[in-house]
Amino acid sequence: MIINIEGLEFGYSSTPVLKDVTAKLEGPKFISILGPNGVGKSTLIHCINKILTPTTGTVMIDDREVKEITIKEMAKMVGYVPYSANDTFPLTVVDTVLMGRHPHSHRGSLDKDLDIVYETLEMLGILDLAMRSFNELSAGQHQKVMLARGLAQEPKILLLDEPTSNLDVRHQLEVAKMLKRLSREKDILVIMICHDINIAAKYSDEIILMHEGTVFDVGTPNEVITRENLETVYGVDAKVIDDDGMPHVILKDSYPEKKPVKIDSDIQETSETPLETA
Amino acid sequence: MFSAEGSNADGSAKDQMKEEYRKYTFRKVLFMVGCATILIILFGYALTLGSHKIDFFTVFTTIGNHIMGATYQIGTPEWTNDYLVWEDRLPREAIAIVAGVGLAIGGAAMQSVVKNPLADPYTTGISSGAVLGVTVALALGITAGSIAGNYGLVANAFLFGMIPTAVTIIVSRISKTSPATIILAGVAMSYLFNAMSTLILISSEAGKIQEAFLWQIGTLQWTTWDDFPLMFIIVAAGSIVLAFTSKQLNILTLGDESAKSLGLNADNYRLLVLVVLSLMTSAVVSFIGIIGFLGLVSPHIVRTIIGSDNKYVIPAAAIFGAMFLLAADLIARMVINPGELPVGVIMSFIGGPMFLILILKSKKGVW
């Protein structure tokens, strides 16, 4: 699976978010997208799976323009694990994960669909939650169920929006390990948005670092996670050490804002875009 | 990607999960069968009740004979029975069932669309539209006195009932914000249309004001077989559409982003659901006035018992709604003798406290 992004631009009415993003994501692989709040990480993956339509630029999946792919076709190829889930009318875990089968299911496919639901629940170790109601679960369990739903789509590409943000340390590691395993064992191109630099550095095959609405650096964790990059993009002073061949970040201090914020509210001069999209 | 067979050790755990799931869904079906049974019993019982009691066996044979084409001499007891059962009670109950189904399914669908358990089929302002339609018709001189007049009122109520929905849909397409947009637009429409109705009425004579008021009270008292075909066709068609797309309704409730990622065009489907449920609700309201609470409470109670999967909530709410309305109508007919109270009033008397109890007892958090 190859995703080719060329000159992608996107803005919410008057506010530009993505500016001239160009990247090539080739899988199967475990890719992390890193960057500060509001830099456009969620926006970028939403432009990949057609949740948003870019203002200019192209996104191609395996040499097919995403514009030409229908939502239904897209759902068969690309799984999406959102940041949070709607809880208004909760279903059981099985029913929730079954919804992931929607792009593939048809009359009489319930049996096969349940087989696949079983496989995903088992793989994620949440089989005992099968008949529980979604709103009775903890945040960690929620996340695994959402992940199961995305996997039930049998996708070739899996997009995850901050899957570890709400989790305790053990679950953070478990989920990251699992995603890496998936990219290997199931040949999936896994693309994860992450706020935890160390988790991303430890498990990803490749990191895309975004800054001011565009791609700042791409490469292996060792190439991208450097003191200079962290200073420029995140505005932090950090020490990067080697841990078993992978970089590990020790945060020392934050730098003050690059330019002072003027009192005149018409002119906002910060180094970050005002929108929080993550 | 996944093999459907699995290893032998997997086999039994997988079968166990599937078995549990099937038992779970079977319980839901059982609930529906139970409600349907009560519905049938109520239906039969209601046919025997009225100012003139007819025992069940006579009811049964009267219906049978009527289907066979029997006619009677006016004034004979057989003729009376036939008339009461066939022209008075049967159409009333048939319409009660159709209306109950329409309002309950409308409520269930609206709640999924706006992702809010407090929504009902009138959320987009249909009831105030229908009332305005009737007010306008009355002001223009159409009355319910003649058959043509009656149709005129119904048609106008129906047409005007669709206007608030149309506006709400347009607004939500333009502004593209949250489902709250639909609710708020509906509220705005209700205020606007009620204001227009009031304006017309205060410049009308007392007789017209009274007629307008009486029209919008939900009642099954004046229903005849003439009212049945159109209501039945629209409610049946709408129910089939919603029941067959119940999976999409589930997905719509996840939110537009998740819905799109699962292959559902949320905007288009939401539009379809709103149009269908507006047609159903308008059809019901135009013939029997405004009956509140049914569309709100039926899906609620059903969800508390069988969960929120629309595949089962839609048909279950339909059966429950029909049962509920039939029971309320029975009470409406029998609570004072002779005469009757409007079923809309009875429904509010029952529905109000019932809803309070639901709120207080809610621990499962179906919200």
Interface contact B21-A86, CB threshold 8 A = no
Contact between chains at B309 and A115 (C-beta distance less than 8 A): no
**Is A80 within 8 Å of chain B by CB?**
yes
d(CA B267, CA B303): 25
How many whole angstroms separate alpha carbon A126 and alpha carbon A130? 7
pTM of the predicted structure, to 2 decimals: 0.88
Is A260 a residue whose pLDDT tops 80?
A: no
Q: Is B20 on the interface with A (CB under 8 A)?
A: yes
> Chain B within 8 Å of A86 (Cβ-Cβ)?
yes
Of A71, A76, A88, the CB nearest to B253: A88
User: With contacts defined as CB-CB under 8 Å, which chain B residues touch A131?
Assistant: 20-21, 24
Indicate yes or no: CB of B307 within 8 angstroms of CB of A75: no
Q: Which residue has the tokens 């001239």?
A: A20
Mean pLDDT for all residues in chain A? 88
Top pLDDT among A210 and A165 is at A210
The CATH number of the domain where A36 resides is what?
Answer: 3.40.50.300
The H or E element containing residue B105 is helix B90-113
3-class state of residue A222 by DSSP: helix
Is residue A61 situated within a structural domain?
yes
Rounded to 10 deg, the angle between the A139-152 and A169-185 helix axes is 10
Chain B, nearest residue to A102 by Cα: B262
Chain A residues touching residue B257 (CB < 8 angstroms): 46, 51, 80, 82
Verify whether the Cβ–Cβ distance A72 to B251 is below 8 Å. Answer: no
Contact flag A94-B21 (C-beta cutoff 8 Å)? yes
Phi and psi (nearest 5°) for A36?
-70, 170
Contact B262 A186 (CB under 8 A): no
Please name each of the domains of chain B with its CATH number: 37-361 (1.10.3470.10)
Band the pLDDT of A272: cuts 50, 70, 90. very low
Any residues with CB less than 8 A from the CB of A42 and at least 6 apart, and which?
A83, A161, A193, A277, A278
Q: What is the ipTM of this complex?
A: 0.85
A133 pLDDT band (50/70/90 cuts)? very high
> CA-nearest residue of chain B to A83?
B258
Domain membership of residue A69 (yes or no) is yes
Q: Band of the pLDDT at A273, cuts 50, 70, 90?
A: very low
Query: Closest residue of A to B3, CA-based?
Result: A116
Tell me which residue of B283, B160, B149 sits closest to B227, measured CA to CA.
B283
Search chain B and give the residue with CA nearest A110.
Answer: B18
A72 touches B at CB < 8 Å:
yes
Question: B299 CA to chain A: closest CA distance, Å?
Answer: 12
Residue A240, CA atoms < 13 Å, CB-side half-sphere: 19
Burial of A267 per CB tally in 10 Å (0-12, 13-18, 19+): exposed
Number of domains in chain A: 1
Give CA separation, A208 vs A23, A205, A258, B83, B99, in Å.
9, 10, 23, 80, 58
Considering only residues 151 to 180 of chain A, which have any Cβ-Cβ distance to chain B shorter than 8 Å?
153-154
Taking alpha carbons only, the member of A240, A261, A236, A260 closest to residue A250 is: A240
The reply to whether B74 touches chain A by the CB within 8 Å rule is: no
pLDDT at A262: 55
Q: Which residues pair with A191 in a beta bridge?
A: A31, A159
Q: What is the number of CB-based contacts under 8 A between chain A and chain B?
A: 114
Residue numbers of the domain that contains A10: 2-84+156-254
Q: How far apart are CA A166 and CA A142, in angstroms?
A: 10
Q: Determine if residue A188 is left, alpha or beta; phi over 0 gives left, psi from -120 to 50 gives alpha, anything else beta.
A: beta
pLDDT at B10 (0 to 100): 59
- Separation of alpha carbons B186 and A54, rounded Å: 32
Nearest-CA neighbor of B285 among B72, B106, B142?
B106
Q: Please indicate whether, in this complex, the C-beta atoms of B255 and A99 are within 8 angstroms of each other.
A: no
Residue A15: pLDDT over 70: yes
* Chain B interface mutation, best of A80, A89, A182, highest count of B Cβ atoms under 10 Å: A89
| B 235-264 near A (Cβ less than 8 A) | 247, 250-251, 253-258, 260-264
CB contacts of B1 in chain A (<8 Å) are 154, 186
Verify whether the Cβ–Cβ distance B254 to A72 is below 8 Å. Answer: no
| Cα–Cα distance, B189 to A99 (Å, whole number) | 35
Nearest to A102 among B111, B257, B263 (CB): B263
**Which of B12, B17, B244, B261 to probe the A interface (max A CBs under 10 A)?**
B261
Q: What is the mean pLDDT of each run of 10 residues along chain B (367 residues)?
A: 51 88 94 95 88 80 81 79 84 95 96 89 90 87 68 86 88 74 87 92 84 85 89 96 96 91 92 92 92 93 92 97 95 85 92 85 57
Span A40-54, mean pLDDT? 91
Facing residue for B262 by CB, picked from A95, A103, A127: A103
Question: Which helix (DSSP H) or strand (DSSP E) does residue A243 occupy?
Answer: strand A236-243
Query: Would residue A145 count as lying in a domain?
Result: no
pLDDT digits (tens, 9 = 90+) for B234-268: 999 999 999 999 999 999 999 889 999 999 998 88
- CB < 8 Å to A121, chain B: 17
> Nearest residue of A to residue B365 by CA position?
A135
Q: Which amino acid is at B234?
A: I
What pLDDT is recorded for position B9? Answer: 54
CB-based contact (8 Å) between B18 and chain A? yes
Contact list in B for residue A103 (CB cut-off 8 A) is: 262-263
User: How confident is the model at residue B343, as a pLDDT?
Assistant: 93
A168 lies in some domain: yes
B6 contact A CB<8A: yes
A70 to chain B: closest CA residue:
B263
Is residue B172 within 8 A of residue B185, CB to CB? The reply is: yes
